[in-house]
Structure 1
Amino acid sequence: MNKRESFSSRWGFICACIGSAVGMGNIWMFPTRVSLYGGGSFLIPYFIFVILIGSTGVIGEMSFGRAAKAGPIDAFGIACEKKGKRKVGEALGMIPVFGSLAMAIGYTVVMGWILRYAVGTFTGATLSPENVDEFGAAFGKMASAFGNNIWQILALVACMLILMLGVGSGIEKANKIMMPIFFALFVILGIYVGFQPGASEGYRYIFRVDPEAFKDPATWIFALGQAFFSLSVAGNGTLIYGSYLSDEEDIPASAGRVALFDTIAAILAALVIIPAMATTGAQLDQGGPGLLFIFLPNLIKGMPGGWLIAIIFFVAVLLAGMTSLINLYEAPIATVQEKFKLGRVPACAFTGIVGVIVSLLIQGIVSDWMDVLSIYICPLGAGLAGIMFFWVCGKAFVEKQVNTGRETPFTKQYYTICKYFYVPVCFIVLILGIVLGGIG
């Protein structure tokens, strides 16, 4: 087995982690929840939960990965080894790995849609429907079983080609290019929308504070869900990226930067989408794929220079989605490398073949597929990783790993907060998701 790869720079690692966190949840769900749950009244609890999860779970998964220098299966196994239960740990570690693969497969379907729409902005196909009903019909046809095969395969091939180049030459370089471009494009969109008539109503809508919203449990529940899933704590992607870190890296500082930029991305999306909807007097009560592929294209079509706005928007969305897809596939690829002693390219090829076959088969049920994963597997994976690191590994181990690379020790309360607050929160998210049909 070759020496384990690593990120070549701190900025490269941070960009990769930001890329893993910034995805469709920031773009098609966050603006809707801001709109539905009181604007600023939603933002306040959201910021609170981002700070809490970013300073507990994100740091924990990065530190756990770096300590193990391995993916979830070996990391869980190492945690349980002192108890004589390595096989049990490895078996539990398969849950977040398979969860990451299944999520990546579902995300591949979505990336096929995005790639088709992004290319279509250049050819004119994306904005060719005449009204919202036609946009809906076009999306419905594309999202049906076997309705988007070629674009979906192309998206996955592009992802695998990047992954085949490795951690430093592939993942790191791709994220260092794509993430700055994504932020720049959304800033351009935000400025453009800000000058449109009626946009000011959107800003008032975003930053309004409705005291009654604080009394509504749904505001707090969905703010928690948004923060939890946006920061990508699931016992897989963040952990595997942490495994490529050197001992010189200050993980708490890096986790803080990741949480900050992920939040900026979400706010940028809200500052583009909500004021844009306000310019037409539309109420933003539709989230998910319908917002991205039906209502926003219909809105953009009627804006001055709509074709250019569509290009900027969907290229930015493509970049955000691709960085998340890369992260999701990395955990299973690394596991194939570790367990079957394969090189990088064969591991990517094997995983890519599985991804192609299964993603083509689930096109018509991808929404249900992703719901099951987000409700059950992601919070379970995060909770299991938290149990392994904070409960099984113990206080001395955790504090040593978190403080490695730091000039001054991280807060002494870190271990206690994570053990008795963060880990239970993971299972609260799991239970709330089951009861409410998903909160992410």
Structure 2
Amino acid sequence: MNREKFSSRLGFILISAGCAIGLGNVWRFPYITGKYGGAAFVLFYIFFLLILGMPIMVAELAVGRASQKSLARSFDTLEPKGSKWHVYKWFGIAGNYLLMMFYTTIAGWMLYYMVKMAAGKFNGLNAEEIGTAFGAMTQNPGVMTLFMVIVVVLCFGVCAMGLQKGVERITKVMMICLLFMMLILAVNSVALKGAGEGLKFYLLPDFSKVQENGIWNVLYAAMGQSFFTLSLGIGALAIFGSYIGKERRLTGEAVSIMALDTFVALVAGLIIFPACFAYGVDPGEGPSLIFVTLPNVFNAMPLGQLWGTLFFVFMFFAAASTVIAVFENIISFAVDLTGCTRKKAVLVNMIAIIVLSVPCVLGFNLWSGFMPLGAGSNVLDLEDFIVSNNLLPLGSLVYLLFCVTRYGWGWKKFQAEANEGIGIKFPGWLRVYCKYILPLIVLFIFVWGYLAKFVL
């Protein structure tokens, strides 16, 4: 059976970027940028994106394209006889399931807020009442389950329509709408009275903030954000490598995906910071920024209900593009491994993901007494820690070593695959860096994640 391909290069780039563009870009990136010195942090971030993210992304795409298989069979196809690289597929696919066990719940929050904002349910509420509304949602397992199930059914429904007719066509429209909405929201924020302070805070490098937070902390934060934003290491990008032809070199494609991912992160800051400063609001961390602070800001704005609804449509699209991309990986894994039909893989996995997502929902209410990572933590934190601090860095290390060592696929074969077609070449002089230095940086990120969580 011939493997289905993307109908266009634009489809491949938008969908691969959609996989990378998620809540980390539009939720976490603006906050840590503000915390670590605005533009100064952004410079470090882009530097690490190029030296960390790019080689690993090229490696993952190359494994997918050369094998023409998902994670289920890619290592089996390319590995030397008798080696055990294929064992990693079980950890990689576990990473995809674990990611969806909490990501579907957060995507459900975005959908819920989009509906509430469109219905005008936040109109006239003060800051305290909006804060209470978020608490009420997380305390209601029925509402959270309903919206999680809607997200799962919708996104698997897109995958059921096939690669070109479903995943590519729908994600293309969603991503173009997302980029268009972001630009409208950013123009609106920048035009607000008092937005200048927010722009200054965000766009002018403040190296005193770097000193204040400690250069090592800032470097690690930039390194971590650049590494985790691309969802590398669990085969979620390799699958899209298996759907493209050999017309273009993979380094150029990786640069295009990273540029789009970074553009979305930077524009998210242009939406959030000017609006927060214009209304005297502290751009706080995590859920409170998106679900408490920003609804207050929209409430105070002229046409706030419209801007708020647009914002949460954009947030939902950002989340859904990642969910669809990871679901496509999960489905391809099942089809490649068992030979079942796409429809059957969709049906079985839809039920599995709904059941597996329930603990995350209950972690906020009925199971809130379960604090796996210490006081104040919940099921979502545990699932996120397993994926972000373990499977992503260690999986990236597997892809990297597989491509650069003679015990795996090997540098020559990897470079030949990466450089097939037209576009930017993957340079041969990067071999020593990719073989000896980059693995140490990835291990440093892995170890530091544990130290920061449990020791420091």
Which TM-score band (shorter chain)?
Answer: over 0.9
- Give the structure 2 partner of residue 141 of structure 1: 136
Whether the 8 Å contact between 1:235 and 1:384 is mirrored in structure 2 is: no
Using the TM superposition, name which of 337-346 and 210-219 deviates more: 210-219
1:225-268 deviation line (CA, Å, top 9, x unaligned): 11111122123111111111112232111111111111110010
CA distance in 1, matches of 2:53, 2:227: 9
- Give the structure 2 partner of residue 359 of structure 1: 357
Whether the 8 Å contact between 1:63 and 1:402 is mirrored in structure 2 is: yes
- Give the structure 2 partner of residue 26 of structure 1: 25
Whether the 8 Å contact between 1:21 and 1:231 is mirrored in structure 2 is: yes
* Pair 422,170 (structure 1): closer, same or farther in 2 beyond 3 Å: farther
Whether the 8 Å contact between 2:114 and 2:312 is mirrored in structure 1 is: yes
- Give the structure 2 partner of residue 65 of structure 1: 64
- Give the structure 1 partner of residue 375 of structure 2: none
Whether the 8 Å contact between 1:78 and 1:89 is mirrored in structure 2 is: no
3-state SS, counterpart of residue 26 of structure 1: helix
3-state SS, counterpart of residue 222 of structure 1: helix
Among 207, 210, 219, the alignment partner of 1:211 is 207
CA distance in 1, matches of 2:161, 2:6: 13
The alpha-carbon deviation at position 361 of structure 1 amounts to 2.9
The aligned amino acid for 1:384 is: V
The aligned amino acid for 2:382 is: D
- Give the structure 2 partner of residue 435 of structure 1: 451
Whether the 8 Å contact between 1:20 and 1:232 is mirrored in structure 2 is: yes
The alpha-carbon deviation at position 146 of structure 1 amounts to 4.4
1:38-93 deviation line (CA, Å, top 9, x unaligned): 1111011011011223431111111111111112232223343x2412xx322212
Whether the 8 Å contact between 2:251 and 2:425 is mirrored in structure 1 is: no
The alpha-carbon deviation at position 178 of structure 1 amounts to 0.8
Q: How many percent of aligned residue pairs carry the same amino acid?
A: 28
The alpha-carbon deviation at position 141 of structure 1 amounts to 2.7
Whether the 8 Å contact between 1:34 and 1:40 is mirrored in structure 2 is: yes
The aligned amino acid for 2:390 is: Y
Matched, 1:417 2:433: yes
The aligned amino acid for 2:134 is: F
3-state SS, counterpart of residue 84 of structure 1: coil
3-state SS, counterpart of residue 71 of structure 1: coil
Whether the 8 Å contact between 2:234 and 2:391 is mirrored in structure 1 is: no
1:327-386 deviation line (CA, Å, top 9, x unaligned): 122222111111111111111111111111111232123233223321112212211121
The aligned amino acid for 1:385 is: Y
Using the TM superposition, name which of 152-161 and 405-414 deviates more: 405-414
3-state SS, counterpart of residue 426 of structure 2: coil
CA distance in 2, matches of 1:409, 1:102: 35
Among 155, 180, 183, the alignment partner of 1:187 is 183
Alignment of 1:168-187 (within 5 A): 168-187=164-183
CA distance in 1, matches of 2:2, 2:220: 43
Using the TM superposition, name which of 378-387 and 25-34 deviates more: 378-387
- How large is the RMSD of aligned CA atoms in angstroms? 1.8
Whether the 8 Å contact between 1:277 and 1:299 is mirrored in structure 2 is: yes
- Give the structure 2 partner of residue 231 of structure 1: 230
Matched, 1:396 2:412: yes
The alpha-carbon deviation at position 407 of structure 1 amounts to 6.1
- Give the structure 2 partner of residue 325 of structure 1: 323
Whether the 8 Å contact between 1:73 and 1:89 is mirrored in structure 2 is: no
Unmatched 5+ residue regions in structure 1?
A: none
The aligned amino acid for 2:290 is: L
CA distance in 1, matches of 2:123, 2:152: 26
Among 397, 400, 409, the alignment partner of 1:383 is 397
The aligned amino acid for 2:307 is: I
CA distance in 2, matches of 1:184, 1:55: 26
Alignment of 1:6-405 (within 5 A): 6-80=5-79, 82-85=80-83, 88-125=84-121, 127-128=122-123, 130-144=125-139, 145-212=141-208, 213=210, 216-284=215-283, 286-363=284-361, 364=363, 365-391=379-405, 392-405=408-421
Using the TM superposition, name which of 159-168 and 361-370 deviates more: 361-370
Normalised by the size of structure 1, how large is the TM-score? 0.94
CA distance in 2, matches of 1:106, 1:90: 26
Whether the 8 Å contact between 1:132 and 1:298 is mirrored in structure 2 is: yes
Unmatched 5+ residue regions in structure 2?
A: 364-378
3-state SS, counterpart of residue 421 of structure 2: coil
Using the TM superposition, name which of 254-263 and 426-435 deviates more: 426-435
The alpha-carbon deviation at position 421 of structure 1 amounts to 3.1
* Pair 407,327 (structure 1): closer, same or farther in 2 beyond 3 Å: closer
Give aligned pairs, total.
432
3-state SS, counterpart of residue 362 of structure 1: helix
Whether the 8 Å contact between 1:7 and 1:245 is mirrored in structure 2 is: yes
The alpha-carbon deviation at position 9 of structure 1 amounts to 0.9
The alpha-carbon deviation at position 417 of structure 1 amounts to 2.6
3-state SS, counterpart of residue 279 of structure 2: coil
The alpha-carbon deviation at position 138 of structure 1 amounts to 1.9
Whether the 8 Å contact between 2:19 and 2:236 is mirrored in structure 1 is: yes
Whether the 8 Å contact between 1:398 and 1:415 is mirrored in structure 2 is: no
* Pair 141,91 (structure 1): closer, same or farther in 2 beyond 3 Å: farther
The aligned amino acid for 1:50 is: L
- Give the structure 1 partner of residue 368 of structure 2: none
3-state SS, counterpart of residue 73 of structure 1: coil
Whether the 8 Å contact between 1:64 and 1:75 is mirrored in structure 2 is: yes
The alpha-carbon deviation at position 410 of structure 1 amounts to 3.2
* Pair 219,71 (structure 1): closer, same or farther in 2 beyond 3 Å: same
